[in-house]
Amino acid sequence: MISMKTDLKTDRELSAQIADAIRNAIIDGSLIVDERLPSEAELSEQFHVSRPTVREALKRLAAQNLIRTRRGATGGAFVNRLRFEEAYGQQITTSTLLLSMNDVDFETACEARFTLERACVALSAKRHTGDHMATMRAEIHRQSQPGLSDEAFCASDVAFHRALVDGAQNPVLSYQLAGAIEAIEPLMNMITFSARSREEIVALHTEIANAIEAGNGNAANKTLERLAEYTVELANTVFQKRKQK
Amino acid sequence: MISMKTDLKTDRELSAQIADAIRNAIIDGSLIVDERLPSEAELSEQFHVSRPTVREALKRLAAQNLIRTRRGATGGAFVNRLRFEEAYGQQITTSTLLLSMNDVDFETACEARFTLERACVALSAKRHTGDHMATMRAEIHRQSQPGLSDEAFCASDVAFHRALVDGAQNPVLSYQLAGAIEAIEPLMNMITFSARSREEIVALHTEIANAIEAGNGNAANKTLERLAEYTVELANTVFQKRKQK
DNA sequence: CAGCTTTAATTGTCTGACAAATGATTTCTA
DNA sequence: TAGAAATCATTTGTCAGACAATTAAAGCTG
């Protein structure tokens, strides 16, 4: 039994209320990970609704990655273990839409991103592994390739910064930062990166990687601040040029 | 027309594929905010599926707050403007479940929270308004009330810290921090706060509020660090006691 | 005992229907 | 004619019943 409060109101969609009831059961621990929910037929009896209505409720939960379903004799709906890696995607999608739909300006988004990132570098300097360094170096190398498109340059930039954050070895930090770092990519993609500016960014990235490798979080922090300033400056000139046209 | 790639595969649920198609149309801008989607009947024609299948797809999107629906003559499904305030809830639910389902220990969650928070105080010290200060002072006052339950104390703690972060006046920061700050509340709720420890926390909160009001982000940062250490220490003694039993 | 077949359970999808809400239209009335 | 009331058309919300597809377990067969 999910919850005995089966007294559904009439002022909201039934499928939404049922989804809420099940979601709450998951949150408060009445339903634990990998536990099987009652079959759709049983749920429709319990809640006194039809099977399509139950199914709509289950699809709502599936959209939030809270359950998975399997057909067949031993099939059904099961409570999902929400994993950090899977939650990234959702987090990034939402963050991206928030920026674009609320007309957040580049400076605000950039400030948030670099502020959060600077918070992580001290930990990253202490805890990073060879893997993180290797990723950072590889991305720096990619960024200095001549024929690289602006989009690929941005993507590499994102990869570099994610490795930087992942170096802190705190999954909660990595998760929270994913949204801030990735969501800004579409905005960065509007920038045209000249050879000169790429050089500058690569130099700053290298400086950051060196500081991290040396365990000097303070230096990395300061360079990151310069990178933040440079990025905003770059964006401003681009956007001002756009305006003039 | 949402997308002409109506060649749906057979290896995934149709409703999931349709939801993806519409979601992508929203993300890439083919569907703009407040635009009305085709009616369910029209969508089922376009995608060559039945109405219940279309409905399941729409419910998936509704669960992510991407659309809203209205009945009636001029009703239908409309693209939602995703707002920061509405996204908070989702973000908090997900963060909370991530912590509990992945057995993230208190120290890791706490580290993430305070690391991110400390990143914000410099901005908060510069930009906070009277409202933010008033909220912080009010919550500090509430926390020093004698008859307060542990749960209410935690809730007030959360409110204090959110006001602190909101003081930075950067909606992106507030959004990202919401998850980190609120998700830890269930873990904090497992702690019993003695009168002595409450006094200590209130003292630290007061010190932080004073520093913010004085525009001294550096001092606030340092006090926040002490608060982080004290919180972890408190939790450790509680959890060690639990273990001994 | 291994391999095949059957069976039962469960989700995925479809059809058709009616209820409820809601704005637009028409009709009625003063 | 102006305003109120009734009607209509459109659309989502819900229901009932059916069948297909999938899957594991049980039963059968050599």
Model pLDDT for residues B189-199, shown as the tens digit of each residue: 888 888 899 99
Query: pLDDT at position A190, please?
Result: 87
Query: pLDDT at position A7, please?
Result: 65
Query: pLDDT at position B242, please?
Result: 61
Which residues, in sequence order, are CB contacts of A87 under 8 Å at separation 6+?
A65, A175, B94, B98
Query: pLDDT at position B241, please?
Result: 63
Distance CA A68, CA A58 (A): 9
Is the dihedral angle over the CA atoms A26, A27, A28, A33 positive or is it negative? positive
- pLDDT mean across residues, chain B: 92
- DSSP state, residue A38: P
Please give the residue that has the higher pLDDT: either B126 or A1.
B126
Q: Nearest CA to CA, how far is A130 from chain B (Å)?
A: 22
**ipTM of this model?**
0.89
Residue with tokens 């630290």: B204
Which residues face B67 on adjacent strands? B79
Query: pLDDT at position B9, please?
Result: 76
Is the dihedral angle over the CA atoms A128, A131, A133, A136 positive or is it negative? negative
Query: pLDDT at position A128, please?
Result: 97
Q: Nearest CA to CA, how far is B196 from chain A (Å)?
A: 30
Query: pLDDT at position B4, please?
Result: 43
| Domain ranges, ordered by start, for chain A | 14-79, 84-244
Q: Flag if A102 and B94 touch (Cβ within 8 Å).
A: no
Query: pLDDT at position A4, please?
Result: 43
Which residues face B68 on adjacent strands? B78
Cβ contacts of B15 on chain A, cutoff 8 Å: 59
Written out in words, the top-level CATH class of the domain with range B84-244 is mainly alpha
Model pLDDT for residues B144-176, shown as the tens digit of each residue: 998 899 999 999 999 999 999 999 999 999 999
**B51 CA to C17 C1', in Å?**
13
- DSSP state, residue A128: -
Q: Flag if A97 and B175 touch (Cβ within 8 Å).
A: no
- DSSP state, residue B75: -
Residue B170: CB atoms within 10 A of its CB come to: 23
* pLDDT tens for the 245 residues of chain A, in order: 555 455 677 779 999 999 999 999 999 999 999 999 999 999 999 999 999 999 999 999 999 999 999 999 999 999 999 999 889 989 999 999 999 999 899 999 999 999 999 999 999 999 999 999 999 999 999 999 988 999 999 999 999 999 999 999 999 999 999 999 999 998 988 888 888 999 999 999 999 999 999 999 999 999 999 999 999 999 888 777 665 54
Please give the residue that has the higher pLDDT: either B242 or B230.
B230
CATH architecture of A14-79: Orthogonal Bundle (1.10)
Q: Is pLDDT above 70 for B1? A: no
Entry field: residues in chain B: 245
- DSSP state, residue B36: B
Give the residue from chain A lying closest to B54, CA to CA.
Answer: A56
Backbone φ, ψ for residue B36 (5° rounding): -90, 130
| Burial status of residue B175 (CB atoms within 10 A of its CB: 0-12, 13-18, 19 or more) | buried
